[in-house]
Amino acid sequence: MAKSIDFPLTKVYVVEGSKRSSHSNAYFYGFFKNKRIVLFDTLLEEYSVLNKDIQEDSGMEPRNEEEGNSEEIKAKVKNKKQGCKNEEVLAVLGHELGHWKLGHTVKNIIISQMNSFLCFFLFAVLIGRKELFAAFGFYDSQPTLIGLLIIFQFIFSPYNEVLSFCLTVLSRRFEFQADAFAKKLGKAKDLYSALIKLNKDNLGFPVSDWLFSMWHYSHPPLLERLQALKTMKQH
């Protein structure tokens, strides 16, 4: 799949994330032609340590000989199984590779650098304003540290709120675009089921208030992403 989109993949790593938590994740890193993909073991259904414990439990004979209880235990074991199948893992990777192919990482770096340049430029302009220090009781001196606190904590506060909202909207847009890219690779159905499993494994809540999520969530809520994928599958 990486070769089909000219992704310069050199290695694939599996991180034993299950030693710390049951959270699932996948990402890539590296410069230029030396990219690596990292998968958490909790993402892989056939690899997850958590599933090995479940399989051991499922191999035990139930204490109650009634057939109904045996079926109930099997159903619980099946529901507890964590991780995604290989096809679903490929769909998740298709989403992550979409971020690379569409230049989302580069765009975020450029925005971050432009924001840093703007902040330091405004700091250089404002640090020499006497009235700024006078407003906070410093009439005879202009301490640089105090100026730093005033400018970045108070003056930039409204700007940071607006910037944070804009970056959240942009991040959500990038996520939808990456989902659409995975769909173009023929992974819409597998990504659909993978998102449900990951939300369940990571103890996410699928329902969110649209205003709250629009302001705070860098990723679209599960139901919005599923609805978008469902629309994609119908076309």
Q: Is 209 a catalytic residue?
A: no
Dist CA 192 CA 72 (whole Å): 27
66, 67, 71, 179: which one is catalytic?
A: 179
Residues annotated within the binding site for Zn(2+) are 95, 99, 175
6, 46, 88, 96: which one is catalytic?
A: 96
Dist CA 93 CA 91 (whole Å): 5
Residues annotated within the binding site are 95, 99, 175
Residues 6+ apart with CB under 8 A from 180: 98, 228, 232
Nearest to 36 by CA among 97, 85, 104: 97
Q: Is 45 a catalytic residue?
A: no
Dist CA 89 CA 32 (whole Å): 24
How would DSSP label each residue in 50-106?
HHHHHHHHHTSPPSS--HHHHHHHHHHHHHH--SB-HHHHHHHHHHHHHHHHTTHHH
DSSP structure class, residue 155: I
CA 144 to each of CA 71, 91, 126, 149: distance values in angstroms, whole numbers, following the listed order? 71, 51, 11, 9
Q: Which residues are catalytic?
A: 96, 179
